[in-house]
């Protein structure tokens, strides 16, 4: 009986997803909707890159928390930076999606024409989209100062042989 219920649930889920996701719609810029909280400027100018660096730079936060000893202020800064980081990532995603939606005005081409280039472009678009989704998830869960690539601290669970230099150092300190 379990497979019957499992397949019935799967079929119901598929039907709901298809009906929800297949709603006819227009792209936001055509429908006149606001595209995200902000929009990435057309020119990737220095000011915009500076803003990004400041959002993801943890120096201010660490200075407030460790040197000035204002943990609550540091926490407030962290939450405001988190909001800004999410806004920035959403804006980047909206601009990227707008770029992807650039239509081709040239006459219809076959799939075979420039197929490798088309596959490479599609792969780049998917890669960027996946990384953006991942970055948004990490920022939402852990904040803007978390490493996007895991540090793999679990490796330390495995005992490592001491380095030769460390052994020599301990030997030397004992001798002197």
Binding site for another protein (CB under 8 A): 1, 3-4, 7-8, 10-12, 14-15, 17-19, 21-30, 44, 52, 56, 96-106, 108, 111, 115, 117-119, 121-122, 124-129, 131-133, 135, 148-149
Q: Least distance from C-beta 96 to another protein, angstroms?
A: 6
Nearer to another protein, 70 or 78 (CB): 78
Contacts 24+ apart (CB under 8 A), 122-129: 125/100, 128/96, 129/93, 129/96
C-alpha dihedral (52, 53, 57, 63), degrees to nearest 10: -110
Q: Least distance from C-beta 170 to another protein, angstroms?
A: 35
Q: Least distance from C-beta 37 to another protein, angstroms?
A: 15
Exposed (0-12), middle (13-18) or buried (19+): which is 89, by Cβ within 10 Å? buried
Nearer to another protein, 114 or 170 (CB): 114
Count Cα atoms within 13 angstroms, Cβ side, for 159: 2
Nearer to another protein, 10 or 171 (CB): 10
Q: Residue 92: which of 143, 120, 129, 138 has the closest Cα?
A: 129
Q: Least distance from C-beta 95 to another protein, angstroms?
A: 9
């Amino acid at each position: 009986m379990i497979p019957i219920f499992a397949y019935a649930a799967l079929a119901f889920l598929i039907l709901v997803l298809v009906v929800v996701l297949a709603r006819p719609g227009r792209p936001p810029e055509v429908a006149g909707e606001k595209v995200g909280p902000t929009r990435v400027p057309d020119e990737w100018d220095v000011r915009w890159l500076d803003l990004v660096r400041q959002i993801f730079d943890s120096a201010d936060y660490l200075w407030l928390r460790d040197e000035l000893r204002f943990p609550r202020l540091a926490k407030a800064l962290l939450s405001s930076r988190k909001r800004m980081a999410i806004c920035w990532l959403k804006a980047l995603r909206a601009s990227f999606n707008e770029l992807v939606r650039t239509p081709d005005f040239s006459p219809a081409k076959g799939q075979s024409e420039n197929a490798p280039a088309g596959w490479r472009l599609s792969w780049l678009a998917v890669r960027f989209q996946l990384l953006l989704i991942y970055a948004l998830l990490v920022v939402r869960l852990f904040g803007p100062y978390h490493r996007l690539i895991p540090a793999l601290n679990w490796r330390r669970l495995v005992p490592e042989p001491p380095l030769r230099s460390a052994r020599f150092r301990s030997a030397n300190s004992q001798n002197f």
